[in-house]
Amino acid sequence: EDQVTQSPEALRLQEGESSSLNCSYTVSGLRGLFWYRQDPGKGPEFLFTLYSAGEEKEKERLKATLTKKESFLHITAPKPEDSATYLCAVQAVYNFNKFYFGSGTKLNVKP
Amino acid sequence: ETGVTQTPRHLVMGMTNKKSLKCEQHLGHNAMYWYKQSAKKPLELMFVYSLEERVENNSVPSRFSPECPNSSHLFLHLHTLQPEDSALYLCASSHPGLTNTEAFFGQGTRLTVV
Protein backbone atom coordinates (compact mmCIF):
# COMPACT_ATOMS: atom_id res chain seq x y z
CA GLU A 1 0.00 0.00 0.00
CA ASP A 2 1.30 3.42 -0.92
CA GLN A 3 1.99 5.59 2.10
CA VAL A 4 3.98 8.51 3.45
CA THR A 5 5.34 8.88 6.99
CA GLN A 6 6.80 12.12 8.30
CA SER A 7 8.96 12.59 11.37
CA PRO A 8 9.19 14.14 13.80
CA GLU A 9 5.59 15.12 14.37
CA ALA A 10 6.75 18.39 15.95
CA LEU A 11 10.11 20.13 16.17
CA ARG A 12 11.16 23.11 18.26
CA LEU A 13 14.34 24.92 17.27
CA GLN A 14 16.15 28.01 18.42
CA GLU A 15 16.73 30.63 15.76
CA GLY A 16 19.89 29.66 13.87
CA GLU A 17 19.76 25.99 14.96
CA SER A 18 19.86 23.88 11.78
CA SER A 19 17.96 20.59 11.53
CA SER A 20 16.26 18.17 9.13
CA LEU A 21 12.74 16.86 8.62
CA ASN A 22 12.19 13.35 7.32
CA CYS A 23 9.67 11.94 4.85
CA SER A 24 9.70 8.16 4.33
CA TYR A 25 7.60 6.79 1.51
CA THR A 26 6.40 3.54 0.04
CA VAL A 27 5.02 3.78 -3.48
CA SER A 28 4.85 1.44 -6.44
CA GLY A 29 6.90 3.55 -8.80
CA LEU A 30 7.60 7.13 -7.78
CA ARG A 31 6.67 9.83 -10.25
CA GLY A 32 7.36 12.74 -7.95
CA LEU A 33 7.83 13.75 -4.31
CA PHE A 34 6.54 17.15 -3.22
CA TRP A 35 7.21 19.40 -0.25
CA TYR A 36 4.71 22.01 0.93
CA ARG A 37 4.64 24.59 3.68
CA GLN A 38 1.34 25.26 5.46
CA ASP A 39 0.62 28.17 7.79
CA PRO A 40 -2.27 27.88 10.28
CA GLY A 41 -5.68 28.24 8.66
CA LYS A 42 -4.23 28.49 5.14
CA GLY A 43 -3.75 26.18 2.19
CA PRO A 44 -0.45 24.38 1.56
CA GLU A 45 2.12 26.41 -0.36
CA PHE A 46 4.21 24.50 -2.89
CA LEU A 47 7.96 24.41 -2.22
CA PHE A 48 9.73 21.68 -4.22
CA THR A 49 9.29 18.70 -6.51
CA LEU A 50 11.89 15.93 -6.62
CA TYR A 51 11.72 13.24 -9.30
CA SER A 52 14.70 10.91 -8.90
CA ALA A 53 17.08 9.64 -6.23
CA GLY A 54 20.06 11.94 -5.78
CA GLU A 55 18.17 15.04 -6.81
CA GLU A 56 18.42 18.16 -4.64
CA LYS A 57 16.53 21.46 -4.70
CA GLU A 58 17.22 24.63 -2.72
CA LYS A 59 15.25 27.73 -1.82
CA GLU A 60 16.61 30.26 0.64
CA ARG A 61 17.23 28.36 3.92
CA LEU A 62 15.56 25.16 2.69
CA LYS A 63 17.15 22.26 0.86
CA ALA A 64 15.29 19.10 -0.16
CA THR A 65 17.00 15.82 -1.00
CA LEU A 66 15.69 12.47 -2.24
CA THR A 67 16.76 8.84 -1.93
CA LYS A 68 14.89 5.71 -3.04
CA LYS A 69 13.10 5.45 0.29
CA GLU A 70 13.01 8.89 1.85
CA SER A 71 13.37 12.61 1.46
CA PHE A 72 14.86 15.17 3.80
CA LEU A 73 14.05 18.82 4.16
CA HIS A 74 17.12 20.51 5.62
CA ILE A 75 16.61 23.87 7.28
CA THR A 76 19.79 25.91 7.68
CA ALA A 77 19.92 28.69 10.28
CA PRO A 78 16.13 28.92 10.58
CA LYS A 79 14.30 32.12 11.46
CA PRO A 80 11.00 32.50 13.35
CA GLU A 81 9.21 33.12 10.04
CA ASP A 82 10.08 29.55 9.01
CA SER A 83 7.65 28.32 11.66
CA ALA A 84 4.92 26.33 9.89
CA THR A 85 3.79 22.79 9.19
CA TYR A 86 5.77 21.12 6.42
CA LEU A 87 3.94 18.50 4.36
CA CYS A 88 5.35 15.81 2.11
CA ALA A 89 3.40 14.09 -0.66
CA VAL A 90 4.16 11.48 -3.33
CA GLN A 91 2.66 10.72 -6.70
CA ALA A 92 2.83 7.29 -8.31
CA VAL A 93 3.60 6.58 -11.96
CA TYR A 94 0.41 4.53 -12.31
CA ASN A 95 -1.92 7.30 -11.13
CA PHE A 96 -1.09 10.89 -11.95
CA ASN A 97 -4.36 12.04 -10.39
CA LYS A 98 -3.53 11.06 -6.83
CA PHE A 99 -1.25 12.62 -4.22
CA TYR A 100 -0.51 10.70 -0.99
CA PHE A 101 0.18 13.07 1.89
CA GLY A 102 1.97 12.57 5.19
CA SER A 103 0.68 14.03 8.45
CA GLY A 104 3.26 16.79 8.43
CA THR A 105 5.94 18.14 10.77
CA LYS A 106 5.02 21.19 12.80
CA LEU A 107 8.11 23.39 13.09
CA ASN A 108 8.40 26.10 15.74
CA VAL A 109 11.44 28.37 15.60
CA LYS A 110 11.99 30.46 18.71
CA PRO A 111 13.86 33.79 18.55
CA GLU B 1 -5.40 37.13 -9.16
CA THR B 2 -4.05 34.17 -7.18
CA GLY B 3 -3.71 30.75 -8.84
CA VAL B 4 -6.47 28.91 -6.97
CA THR B 5 -9.25 30.87 -5.28
CA GLN B 6 -11.74 29.41 -2.82
CA THR B 7 -14.89 31.02 -1.48
CA PRO B 8 -16.08 31.48 1.14
CA ARG B 9 -13.06 31.44 3.47
CA HIS B 10 -15.24 30.68 6.50
CA LEU B 11 -18.65 29.03 6.73
CA VAL B 12 -20.85 28.17 9.68
CA MET B 13 -23.87 26.06 8.89
CA GLY B 14 -26.54 24.15 10.72
CA MET B 15 -27.09 20.46 10.14
CA THR B 16 -30.21 21.10 8.07
CA ASN B 17 -28.69 23.78 5.83
CA LYS B 18 -27.59 23.50 2.21
CA LYS B 19 -24.51 25.40 1.12
CA SER B 20 -21.88 25.24 -1.61
CA LEU B 21 -18.13 25.77 -1.67
CA LYS B 22 -16.60 27.26 -4.79
CA CYS B 23 -13.14 26.89 -6.28
CA GLU B 24 -11.67 28.61 -9.34
CA GLN B 25 -8.23 28.09 -10.84
CA HIS B 26 -6.39 30.42 -13.23
CA LEU B 27 -3.41 28.15 -13.96
CA GLY B 28 -4.61 26.38 -17.08
CA HIS B 29 -4.69 23.05 -15.25
CA ASN B 30 -6.99 20.20 -16.26
CA ALA B 31 -7.34 18.33 -12.97
CA MET B 32 -9.04 19.61 -9.82
CA TYR B 33 -9.29 18.12 -6.34
CA TRP B 34 -11.22 18.42 -3.10
CA TYR B 35 -9.35 17.54 0.11
CA LYS B 36 -10.55 17.50 3.70
CA GLN B 37 -8.08 18.47 6.43
CA SER B 38 -8.94 17.62 10.04
CA ALA B 39 -6.71 18.29 13.03
CA LYS B 40 -3.70 15.94 13.31
CA LYS B 41 -4.71 13.89 10.26
CA PRO B 42 -3.18 13.70 6.79
CA LEU B 43 -5.03 15.43 4.01
CA GLU B 44 -7.91 13.20 2.93
CA LEU B 45 -8.60 13.09 -0.78
CA MET B 46 -12.34 13.39 -1.42
CA PHE B 47 -12.80 13.84 -5.17
CA VAL B 48 -10.71 14.24 -8.30
CA TYR B 49 -11.88 15.62 -11.61
CA SER B 50 -9.73 15.21 -14.69
CA LEU B 51 -10.84 16.91 -17.90
CA GLU B 52 -14.17 17.58 -16.16
CA GLU B 53 -14.83 13.90 -15.45
CA ARG B 54 -14.82 12.51 -11.94
CA VAL B 55 -11.99 9.99 -11.72
CA GLU B 56 -11.71 9.49 -7.96
CA ASN B 57 -14.37 9.26 -5.27
CA ASN B 58 -12.91 8.06 -2.01
CA SER B 59 -15.99 6.67 -0.26
CA VAL B 60 -17.25 10.11 0.60
CA PRO B 61 -20.75 10.30 2.18
CA SER B 62 -23.48 11.37 -0.20
CA ARG B 63 -24.09 14.54 1.82
CA PHE B 64 -21.05 15.86 -0.10
CA SER B 65 -21.77 16.33 -3.81
CA PRO B 66 -19.11 17.66 -6.20
CA GLU B 67 -19.68 19.45 -9.48
CA CYS B 68 -17.17 20.42 -12.16
CA PRO B 69 -18.86 22.46 -14.90
CA ASN B 70 -15.56 23.22 -16.69
CA SER B 71 -11.84 22.77 -16.14
CA SER B 72 -11.53 26.07 -14.24
CA HIS B 73 -14.37 25.68 -11.74
CA LEU B 74 -15.16 23.17 -9.03
CA PHE B 75 -17.97 23.15 -6.50
CA LEU B 76 -18.72 21.11 -3.40
CA HIS B 77 -22.40 21.06 -2.51
CA LEU B 78 -23.14 20.37 1.14
CA HIS B 79 -26.38 19.22 2.74
CA THR B 80 -27.44 17.62 6.00
CA LEU B 81 -23.90 17.72 7.39
CA GLN B 82 -22.80 16.37 10.75
CA PRO B 83 -20.62 18.11 13.37
CA GLU B 84 -17.75 15.72 12.51
CA ASP B 85 -17.70 17.24 9.03
CA SER B 86 -16.25 20.43 10.52
CA ALA B 87 -12.80 20.83 8.95
CA LEU B 88 -10.70 22.83 6.51
CA TYR B 89 -11.77 22.01 2.95
CA LEU B 90 -9.05 22.52 0.39
CA CYS B 91 -9.27 22.74 -3.37
CA ALA B 92 -6.26 22.04 -5.55
CA SER B 93 -5.42 21.86 -9.23
CA SER B 94 -2.67 20.28 -11.31
CA HIS B 95 -1.79 19.32 -14.85
CA PRO B 96 -0.93 15.59 -14.75
CA GLY B 97 0.18 15.49 -18.35
CA LEU B 98 2.99 17.99 -17.91
CA THR B 99 6.53 17.41 -16.66
CA ASN B 100 5.77 19.55 -13.59
CA THR B 101 2.86 17.76 -11.98
CA GLU B 102 2.72 19.45 -8.59
CA ALA B 103 -0.64 20.50 -7.21
CA PHE B 104 -1.42 24.06 -6.19
CA PHE B 105 -3.85 24.71 -3.39
CA GLY B 106 -6.36 27.38 -2.55
CA GLN B 107 -6.53 29.02 0.88
CA GLY B 108 -9.29 26.69 2.01
CA THR B 109 -12.75 27.05 3.48
CA ARG B 110 -12.98 26.63 7.24
CA LEU B 111 -16.31 24.85 7.75
CA THR B 112 -18.03 24.65 11.11
CA VAL B 113 -21.19 22.55 11.44
CA VAL B 114 -23.34 23.42 14.44
For B47-92, what is each residue's pLDDT tens digit? 999 887 887 777 899 999 999 999 999 999 999 999 999 999 999 9
What is the reported pLDDT for B18?
95
Residue to substitute from A5, A59, A94, A97, interface B, most B β-carbons within 10 A:
A97
Nearest CA in chain A to B91: A43
Distance CA B67, CA B62 (A): 13
Cβ of A49 within 8 Å of Cβ of B100? The answer is: yes
Cβ of B45 within 8 Å of Cβ of A99? The answer is: yes
What is the reported pLDDT for B82?
95
Cβ of A41 within 8 Å of Cβ of B108? The answer is: yes
What is the reported pLDDT for B68?
94
Nearest CA in chain B to A47: B102
Interchain CB contact of A4 with B (< 8 Å): yes
Interchain CB contact of A34 with B (< 8 Å): yes
What is the reported pLDDT for B90?
98
What is the reported pLDDT for B84?
93
Q: Compute mean pLDDT per 10 residues along chain A, 111 residues long, and list them.
A: 91 98 94 96 95 96 96 98 97 86 96 96
What is the reported pLDDT for A24?
98
**B69-108 CB burial, b ≥16 within 10 A, e <16:** eebbebbbebeebeeebbbbbbbbbbbbeeeebbbbbbbb
Interchain CB contact of A99 with B (< 8 Å): yes
What is the reported pLDDT for B98?
75
